[in-house]
Amino acid sequence: MKIGIIGTGNVGCACAMAAALRGSARQIVLVNRTRKTAEAVATDIRYGMPLSSKAEIVDGDYADLAGAGVVLITSGVNEKTGGATDRSDPQGRLRLLDKNAQIYRDIVPKIAVAAPDAVLVAVTDPPDPLADIGREASPHTTVLSTGTYLDSQRFRVHLGKHFGVDPAHVEAQVIGDHGTAQVFLWSSARVGGVPIARLLKTRGEDFKVLREKVEKEVRYANITIIEGHDASQYGIGIVSVRIAEMILNDERAVIPIGSFQKKFGVTLSLPSVVGRKGVLEVFEPELSDEEQAGLAKSAKLLKEALERIGG
């Protein structure tokens, strides 16, 4: 099994490290515009591989992606460089779309030629419209986005912290776009099968207060991280590699991930079955009226962004 990673900036390096430590594939191929950079990263990680799972990490060109089952695309302008770190900016990550769309239109066809059977995953921000751009550039290629999988983990972590429980045992999802219009599914959020609203009532706590606090923390988590460490990279690195594992191992795991939704006309996240061919089935959860309206708004913003750049 082979994973390709395009781009060895902060996020690409985080993906490479996560894949190496987790033993996600027998071979990890790093491709970068400047090959010397990819070579340096691969070499650095390789020196620690005897202490990790059995795997090989190498640098290469697009041709070296042949046989890859999944390719993670991390190339592009990041949030700090692209000026997408203003909490009051309604565009958020969508501000990066213009420049990163050009990059995807260039590299996706090259990946498709080298690894025609691979599932491509857009990791670069904003991942949802970039997945649509990638599919437009190579119509016969399966292109997903990391979508709201990371946002959902952040949601679980903050709820786990509030209730003093292991986040792995919190059921909570974010759907829609990986951006400012993401939709938090409070109506189905649970701890140990108990609805969040009921837990708060039992504790005598105000639901609105918790909701405002958690949504603010999750929605702007990337900016908070960037303010302290220049780049939000490790969480998305782990999440991206976990998606790659689901694809390579045909796990048929159900996660909120971005794929093209015909009903909305754009790529956005809904709970989906992920396996060797990408998204195998999409589930539409039961939503409150507010959540349905939020999902429609999320789709509208994504569609307008694509129309603006001619996507």
Catalytic residues: 178
Map tokens 């913003």 to a residue: 301
Report the amino acid identity of residue 187. Answer: S
- Rounded Cα gap, residues 271 and 261, in angstroms: 12
Six token digits for residue 180: 């400012």
Helix (H, G, I), strand (E, B) or coil at 131: helix
Measured distance CA(149)–CA(146) in Å, rounded: 6
Cα dihedral 217, 222, 227, 233 sign: positive
Amino acid at 57: I
| Ramachandran bin of 9, using left for φ above 0, alpha for ψ from -120 to 50, beta for the remaining angles | beta
CA atoms within 13 A on the CB side of 49: 21
